[in-house]
A and B are shown apart, each in its own frame.
Chain A
Amino acid sequence: MKNVRFIKALISSAVAVTLTVSLAACGGAQQKGGSGAIKIGGSGPLTGPAAVYGNAVKAAAELAVEEVNAKGGLQFELDFEDDTHDAEKAVTAYGVLKDWGMQVSLATVTSAPGAAVSPMYKDDHIFAITPSGSSLAIIYQDPDNAANPYGNVFQMCFTDPNQGIASADYLKAHSDLGSKIAVIYKNDDNYSSGIFAKFSNQAAANGLDVVYTGTFDDSNASDFTVQLKQAQDAGADLIFLPIYYDPASLILTQANQMGYAPTFFGVDGMDGILTLEGFDTSLAEGVYLLTPFSADATDDLTKNFTANYKAKMNGEVPNQFAADAYDCVYAIAQACEAAGVTADMSASDICDKMTSQFSSMTFNGLTGQNVTWSANGEVSKSPKAVVIQNGVYVGVEN
């Protein structure tokens, strides 16, 4: 009797194992598609707290792929998977994409997951360009010394150190903006603390007077009254905000409630603040930011993109994540055409062609003109300083 119960348990576990295994095998068997289109994969947070960034990238990449396909000629097929802004899920998403037969990749949207999958792109020799993963760890195996690049992983956005240094240099050159500087950054965030680390070094080198440094994290991302009050008490007349626009909107609101009006200075994460649904844009008046993209720009490329994106996303205005993703797809298209990449090539062959093409070509897109890449994968485009006046970005000379 007892043995039977054991046998039953054994049978049921055997069934469970077989089921798992058959599922596993099933996934492996679906590898080849052969639709004549080049398969572009990518992952980003589509659910969870960071979902807003992943969904922007996904929508813009889909838009770009539709446009490229509509032209005839080069055809793309896009699979964008959810990684919930987690390294582990990014690696499984990579597995899904590889099983699907991905030939070119948009890597990941966010930094930490990106750093986890970069070595896999190197191992499997698949070309990847991340729209918005800005950490050095995405393109370098030794990010502390910016050495030993993966070589086939490229970036479309600025790197974090690049932005921190550019900001410190800009503030040195424009000391009329403010002489006593306060910084508020998000200390559990890769992007924000990455920019801050380089900014604070460069600020010291430039002799900037940083009077206050405050932080917040995921569990304290709503109340900024203490940080703002201490910045005010320290006499800060400029607050540097290397953070994304959603917490920045809270900081602007709370500073306004306190009657504290320093100059705010942001980086590319600040882009999007004017288009937050319901945000009183008058609060952002006079905010400076270094950004490669503005949805209000009047060139045809930006106007078309913004209109199409809005139509696709129920009226949501694209942010820099979307713009970078859109540029990524077009840059891939340009490189594919130039290198004569076709859908029947292996991912590895495509990788070689793309890598040499990207490090030699010049690209014009939403986020910059004459964009080039170094052989390490780092992008070279100049951050543009803009100031918000009457609810729109106005360029200021660098």
Chain B
Amino acid sequence: MKTKMKMPALLSGKYRGRTVSYSIVLVSWLILEVMMHTGNLSSLFTSLLVPVCCYVVAAIGLNLNVGISGELNLGQACFMSVGAFTAVCLSGSLGPAVPSLARLILSIVAGALVATVFGILIGIPVLKLEGDYLAIVTLAFGQIVKSLITNMYFGIDSNGFHFSFVDNNVSLAAGGKMLLNGPMGATGTDRISTFTAGIILIILSLIVVYHLIYSRSGRAIMAARDNRIAAESVGIAIFKTKMLAFGVSSCLAGAAGALYGLNYSTLVPAKFDFNTSILLLVYVVLGGLGNMTGTIIATIVLVLLPELLRSMQDYRMLIYAIVLILIMLLTNNETIRVWGQKLKNRFMTKGGAAHGRES
């Protein structure tokens, strides 16, 4: 069935959402690549490409967690952090001897794997809780991970690896390199991330997430979200299904973090704090819970917004805040919803007629 999928099948029913997401990503990639190579893309936008991809991937993961599995996660940034620092350290210790593409792939895989392990370890206590208690525990883990990474010192020199915790006892031989220098984080990272890698990562994460959502496990996850007791009564292992969503979510965040970490020559642990987790949550909620296309669009819009508001000078972040509040108020306003529905209906009937003529 899947191998012999015809066009109409791609456009209708449960595949439609996926097709739209993939086409948005691919078309954007194509256009932006062409613009980049013909020199029409401004430096500002070029600099935004990779971070946007990273946020999209992390937000898709978070949406699986918050939207599909229904767990409010306030610590997604900590998995990005784990992925990022794993990747940066691995890439740093492999050094320029390994070609950059191989290093990038290895580092992203390593970042995703380590973040998954962290996700599962953290998930064990977290998923025993519910609602806002679960939220605060993810927040707490976020703070703990940040605090631990801030106190790690990890260096490499001709004698091998050196590690110390809390007090920096690492003293390197001449020519050594600090891969992770406590609060100063990683410096002198090779910037090997590329926009194409980011797009591939988005596509991969969409494939993984859609595959999960429309599988038996995905239905179990949603059943557990909608009615825990009913789901339990039909024999769904709640903890296991939730863990699956949590693990995949942290894996994606880890991969996103890895790509992010390798995009900048320097990375500090403080970057992945509570605010970053909240920002990711904002992308997810604004894009719509469980709606991956929405997440992609919301992420792009909200990353771009402060940049486009730069001409507002000092009022930039104030306006950003007001826009955020207004969007939430308007999208939840009953009158506007009804009005939007009417517009949609009218558009649909017109469109329907057009479609009728076409075929």
Contact = CB atoms under 8 A, between A and B. Distances in A.
Nearest to B260: A88
Contacts of A193: 182-184
Interface in B276-322: 293, 297, 300, 304, 307-308, 310, 314, 316-317
Contacts of A187: 150-151, 182-183
A25 B264 contact: no
B41 A190 contact: no
B182 A25 contact: no
B47 interface: yes
B183 A188 contact: yes
B44 interface: yes
Interface residues of B, number: 70
Contacts of B270: 188, 218
B264 A95 contact: no
A17 B265 contact: no
B168 A142 contact: no
Contacts of B310: 81-82, 96
A47 B143 CA distance: 23
Contacts of A86: 271
Contacts of B267: 87
Contacts of A13: 20, 23-24, 27, 293, 297
Given A88-B271, A142-B177, 10 more contacts: A1-B355, A2-B16, A3-B12, A8-B347, A96-B307, A99-B43, A116-B266, A142-B188, A188-B269, A194-B184
Which 4 pairs show the lowest CB-CB distances between chains A and B?
A: A27-B42, A95-B44, A28-B42, A95-B43
Q: Give the bracket for the number of chain A residues in contact with chain B.
A: 35 or more
B307 A4 contact: no
Interface stretch (B28-36, B212-220, B328-336): B28-36
Interface in B36-50: 39-48
A77 B13 CA distance: 57
Secondary structure of the A contact surface, majority rule:
helix
Most chain A C-beta atoms within 10 Å of own C-beta, residue among B11, B32, B47:
B47
A96 B47 CA distance: 9
Interface in A202-218: 217-218
B16 A9 contact: yes
B43 A1 contact: no
A2 B184 contact: no
Interface string A111-125: 010011011000000
27 contacts: A3-B12, A4-B354, A4-B355, A5-B351, A8-B351, A9-B293, A16-B297, A24-B35, A25-B40, A46-B314, A81-B310, A87-B266, A88-B51, A88-B271, A92-B48, A95-B43, A95-B47, A95-B48, A96-B43, A98-B43, A142-B188, A143-B187, A144-B176, A187-B182, A189-B183, A190-B183, A190-B184
B178 interface: yes
Contacts of A95: 42-48
A10 interface: yes
B19 interface: yes
Nearest to A16: B297
A137 B264 CA distance: 13
A135 interface: yes
Most chain A C-beta atoms within 10 Å of own C-beta, residue among B44, B174, B265:
B44
B12 A24 contact: no
Given A5-B348, A143-B187, A24 B264 contact: no
B20 A94 contact: no
A7 interface: yes
Interface of A: 1-10, 13-14, 16-17, 20-21, 23-28, 46-47, 81-82, 86-88, 91-92, 94-96, 98-99, 112, 115-116, 118-119, 135, 137, 141-145, 187-190, 193-194, 197, 217-219
B197 interface: no
B143 to A, nearest CB: 7
Interface string B1-33: 000000010011100100110011001100110
Nearest to B48: A92
B264 A116 contact: yes
Contact of A10 (B23, B32, B151): B23
Nearest to B270: A188
A191 to B, nearest CB: 10
Contacts of B308: 23
Given A25-B42, A27-B45, A193-B182, A7 B28 contact: no
B225 interface: no
Contacts of A10: 20, 23
A112 B51 contact: no
A217 B188 CA distance: 24
A91 B269 CA distance: 17
Nearest to B182: A193
A16 B287 CA distance: 14
Most chain A C-beta atoms within 10 Å of own C-beta, residue among B12, B181, B265:
B265
A339 B258 CA distance: 44
Contacts of A24: 32, 35, 40-42, 45
A179 B71 CA distance: 56
Contacts of A28: 39-43, 45
